Amino acid sequence: MRCQRSRAGATTDDSVKWLENDALAKKLIAEGHRWERIVAERLQLLGLDVEIQRQQVRQDVSEALRGDYTGSCDLLVNGWRTQVKSRNLGKWYDPVYLCSARSWKNEGDTTDLWICVLQRTGEMRCVSGERAREHSMEMQIRDRVRKISRLTVRAVPLKHWSKLGKVALYLRFGPKEPPR
C-alpha cells in the first residue's frame, strides 16, 4: 500500500515512518543548525555581514508539513536570503542534491543563495537562487539516514555551483541587492 500526500514531494510508506520519527528529526535538525553556525562563521571571516535566522527545533516533525516555515531562510548574508544544506558526503556528485521537493515548494522562489556543505571535508559550494530556479531538476533518491526508499528532490548540475570564496568576493564587492 502506498501513502500519497497532496503536497510536493509525495511520500511513500517509508517517509510516513520518517514523519513519526521525532527523535531522528530533532537530531538531524540540530545537526543542520550546527552546520549553519559553521557556515556563518566562515562567511564572517570572509568579511560578510551574516545573521543567523531563528533556529528552533520543531516539537513534532510533522509540523514541517503545515507550511509554518514557508519562505523562511537559515541565514541573511549581506541581505541575501540563504539556505544552508549539509550532506554526509566526502565528495561532490553531479547533479548536486539541493533539497526535497517539499522544501523547494516552500523555499525555492524566495531563496537568493544556496550553500551546500560536505560534512566529511567541510568543503562548501554555492549556487544562486536564480541559477537554481533556472537549472534545477526533479529526481528520485534514496535517503538511507531517514530510511526513505524514494524521495523526490531538486538537484542542480555541478557546473552551476561555485566555491564559497568566489561567491563571498562577489557578495562583498558586487551588487548590494540580490536579483529578484
At 12 the pLDDT is 47
At 106 the pLDDT is 87
User: Which one is the CATH code of 13-51+70-168: 3.40.1350, 3.40.1710, 3.30.70, 1.10.10?
Assistant: 3.40.1350
At 21 the pLDDT is 74
Nearest to 77 by CA among 103, 105, 104, 39: 39
Task: For residues 159 and 92, give the distance between their C-alpha atoms in angstroms, rounded to a whole number.
Answer: 11
User: pTM for the full model?
Assistant: 0.82
Angle at the Cα of 91 from the Cα atoms of 89 and 97, rounded to 5 degrees: 65
Question: What are the residue boundaries of the structural domains of the chain, listed by start?
Answer: 13-51+70-168
Coil, strand, or helix at residue 162?
strand
- All cell numbers assigned to 47: 568579511
Task: For residues 41 and 44, give the distance between their C-alpha atoms in angstroms, rounded to a whole number.
Answer: 5
At 5 the pLDDT is 32
At 174 the pLDDT is 79
Task: For residues 85 and 101, give the distance between their C-alpha atoms in angstroms, rounded to a whole number.
Answer: 14
Check: CB of residue 9 under 8 Å from CB of residue 151: yes
DSSP assignment, residue 68? T
At 75 the pLDDT is 95
Task: For residues 52 and 40, give the distance between their C-alpha atoms in angstroms, rounded to a whole number.
Answer: 7
**What pLDDT, in 10s, does the model give residues 147-177?**
888 989 999 999 999 999 999 999 988 776 6
Length of the chain measured in residues: 180
Tell me how crowded residue 158 is: count the other CB atoms within 10 A of its CB. 13
